[in-house]
Amino acid sequence: MTTDDFSFSTFSKNEFYDALNARLVDMTDLGSGQRIVDLACGTGGVTRLILERIKGARDSAIIAMDHSAIALKQAMEDLKDIRDNAVQFVQSQVEQVSESLKERADTIIFCNAIHYVPDKDALVGEISKALKPGGKFAFNTSFFDGGQPENSLQFYRKWMFKAARDLRKEYGLKPERSKKVESRKHLTPDDYKDLVERHGFTILKQKIETIDVPIGGWLDISTFEDFISGTMPGVPLEQASASLQRGIEQAFEELNLTYVQRNWLGVVAVRT
C-alpha cells in the first residue's frame, strides 16, 4: 500500500471503523435542529455519518473542527458529494473549542482523538463550557488501558520486532525512543468516567466493543502520519510506514492470522 500524503483518509474508509463510529453517533441520539460539533474531525468520516443522520433536518448545523489545515481541506473535498451540506469547517485546537465556537453546542462528538490531548482536565472543562446545559458529549478511543486484548499482545510484539528489524536492515534507521508521545499513556475506563464527572457530566452510556480488525486495517493505519510518528518516533514517514507494513505482513503470516482484535471504549455523557 502506498499513499502520498500520510493523511487519515485511507484508514477512515475501512468498513469496520466507519461502523464503530456510526454506533457511537447513534448512541448520542441526535435530535433535529441541533448545533453539533465534530471535534477533531480529521478528513470528515464522522462528519459524513452525522450529516447522513440529520439529513433534511432544518436548522441543524455541523461544525467540523480540527487543528490540521490539510485534514480540513481533505474533509471538504471528501464531503463535496453530499447535497445540503450544512458543515462549517473551523481550524482550531480542540483545547480552545469554547473560544472557537460562536455559539454553544447541543452535542459534541469527539472520535478517536481524546488520547492525543495531554491535559484532559483542561480539555473536558473547555468542552463543558462549549456545551449548552443538558448538552451531550460523546467520545470513543481504542487507545485506553484495556484497548489491547490479551490475545493480541503476541501480534504487537512480533509486529514491532519485525518492523524494527526491517527498518534497520533496509534503511539503517532506528526509532528515537525518548520521543514518547502522549497517545501512548493510557487512561482506564474508570479514569475516563472520573474525568468527565469531575467536570459536571453524568454518564448516560459507556461500552467497550471488541472489533476484529483485518489486515487491511493494520496496513492502512500504518499510512497515517500521527500513528507512524507515535510508533516510530523520529523516523522519516516513508521508511517507517514501509517497515511497519512489512512487519504486519510477516506477523500475520507467521501467526496465521486473519484478524487481530482491538477494544474500543465509547462514552456518551450529559452536561448537568
Ligand X SMILES: C[S@@+](CC[C@H](N)C(=O)[O-])C[C@H]1O[C@@H](n2cnc3c(N)ncnc32)[C@H](O)[C@@H]1O
Give, for 245, the enclosing helix (H) or strand (E): helix 237-254
For the bound state, the minimum distance from the C-beta of residue 172 to ligand X, rounded and expressed in Å, comes to: 30
28, 60, 112, 241: which one contacts ligand X (CB under 6 A)? 112
Looking only at the bridges linking them, the beta strands covering 201-214 and 259-271 are: antiparallel
Euclidean distance between CA atoms 127 and 116, whole angstroms: 15
Does 111 participate in binding ligand X (rule CB under 6 A)? yes
Give Cα 55 distance to the centre of its chain. 24
Among the listed ranges 55-63, 111-119, 151-159, 202-210, the one in contact with ligand X (CB under 6 A) is 111-119
Among 7, 16, 32, 57, CA closest to 217 = 16
- Residues in Cβ contact with 202 at an 8 Å cutoff, skipping those fewer than 6 apart: 269, 270, 272
3-state secondary structure at position 162? helix
Which is closer to ligand X, CB of 25 or CB of 173? 25
Does 28 participate in binding ligand X (rule CB under 6 A)? no
Residues contacting ligand X: total by CB under 6 A: 20
3-state secondary structure at position 270? strand
Does 217 participate in binding ligand X (rule CB under 6 A)? no
For the bound state, the minimum distance from the C-beta of residue 112 to ligand X, rounded and expressed in Å, comes to: 4
Which is closer to ligand X, CB of 173 or CB of 265? 265
Look up residue 113 and give its three cell numbers: 482523538
Residues 32 to 61 in contact with ligand X, rule: CB under 6 A: 40-42, 45-46
Which is closer to ligand X, CB of 139 or CB of 201? 139
Give residues in contact with ligand X (CB under 6 A). 8, 12, 21, 40-42, 45-46, 66-68, 71, 93-95, 111-113, 116-117
